[in-house]
Amino acid sequence: MRLTAENLTHSCGKNPYSCLSDPPKRANNTRIKYLLYQSFWALLDWLYPPACCCCGKPYARICRSCLAEIQPLQEPICDICGLKLAAAGTCLQCRSASRSYRALRSYARYKGVLRKALHHLKYGNDIALGEILARPLGSMLETLCWEIDFIVPVPAGIAHRKNRGYNQSGLLALPVALQIGKPYRTDILFKTGSNRTQVGLSYTERWQNVHAVFSADPRKVANRKVLVLDDIRTSGATMEACAKVLMENGASQVFGLTLAQAFVD
């Protein structure tokens, strides 16, 4: 259904924007928020026509042809960490070392169109890509049926936020939260330590690099089921570090979701 002011007024019985904070209509409010969010980006596309970030074709942030090249990861995968396996079950690493998260999943391989699009999102200031890249993640969560209380992005450090002006994980997590009707929270998980960028580090260096750089608010996370969302999973070290600090501060379960899955030697 096309979003119009008349449709919203009919649903709310009052000013369409005032129903966004009306608790009795939470389900409808969630749908309205997501439609408003999508409409905002659609309006910007109309005012400032985009070009595909991958091939340059006009009038699309990512054209349909390029989107079709993104191939979702296929099973069988590890029940816990989500890495590819020859047969269904739990991988050797997850059997030999316990994980702080209950499960970790990624949408597609970090290559080709997806790699280029994420590079534009992270380094090209192309923040409009967040909304379109987040769509399959919401669909994934509806299929996975994880019981979660809220969604938190992997937090960015102060220097990162000053240099880039935004957190790319948040640009993915917010529309996913709106799509599935769960709260989006940035007041629970924090990056309080400083570390080097993970780019270019070995597998072992990545795990060492994220040690003790995150913190969580125990008052807000206690006995809650948390979904942590990030853009790229490589070694899994960042997601494990986030999940570990959340569990140490009282979370009952932590799940992890990333848009892309890369690999490191």
pLDDT of residue 159: 75
Whether 84 maps to a domain, the answer reads yes
Whether 46 maps to a domain, the answer reads no
pLDDT of residue 1: 33
Torsion over CA: 138, 144, 147, 148 (sign)? negative
Identify whether 72 is preceded by a cis peptide bond (ω within 30 of 0).
no
Whether 257 maps to a domain, the answer reads yes
* Cα within 13 Å of Cα(138), Cβ side: 18
pLDDT of residue 153: 98
The CATH code of the domain that includes 93 is: 3.40.50.2020
Whether 44 maps to a domain, the answer reads no
Buried b (16+ CB within 10 A) or exposed e, 184-202: bbeebbbbeeebeebeebe
Whether 31 maps to a domain, the answer reads no
Whether 63 maps to a domain, the answer reads no
Whether 185 maps to a domain, the answer reads yes
In whole angstroms, give the CA distance from residue 207 to residue 194: 14
Torsion over CA: 237, 240, 242, 248 (sign)? negative
Structural domain harbouring 172: 73-261
In whole angstroms, give the CA distance from residue 254 to residue 100: 7
Q: What is the pLDDT along the chain (265 residues), one digit of tens a residue?
A: 322 223 333 333 433 323 333 333 555 677 789 999 999 999 999 999 999 999 999 999 999 999 999 999 999 999 999 999 999 999 999 999 889 999 999 999 999 999 999 999 999 999 999 999 999 999 999 999 999 999 999 998 777 777 888 999 999 999 999 999 999 999 999 988 655 455 555 556 554 566 678 999 999 999 999 999 999 998 888 999 999 999 999 999 999 999 999 975 5
| Total tally of structural domains belonging to the chain | 1
pLDDT tens for each residue of 103-139: 999 999 999 999 999 999 999 999 999 999 999 999 9
Residue 107 backbone phi and psi in degrees, to 5: -80, -50
Whether 33 maps to a domain, the answer reads no
Residue identified by tokens 């999943």 is: 105
Predicted model pTM: 0.84
Identify whether 76 is preceded by a cis peptide bond (ω within 30 of 0).
yes
| Residues 104 and 239 sit within 8 Å (Cβ to Cβ) | yes
pLDDT tens for each residue of 35-67: 999 999 999 999 999 999 999 999 999 999 999
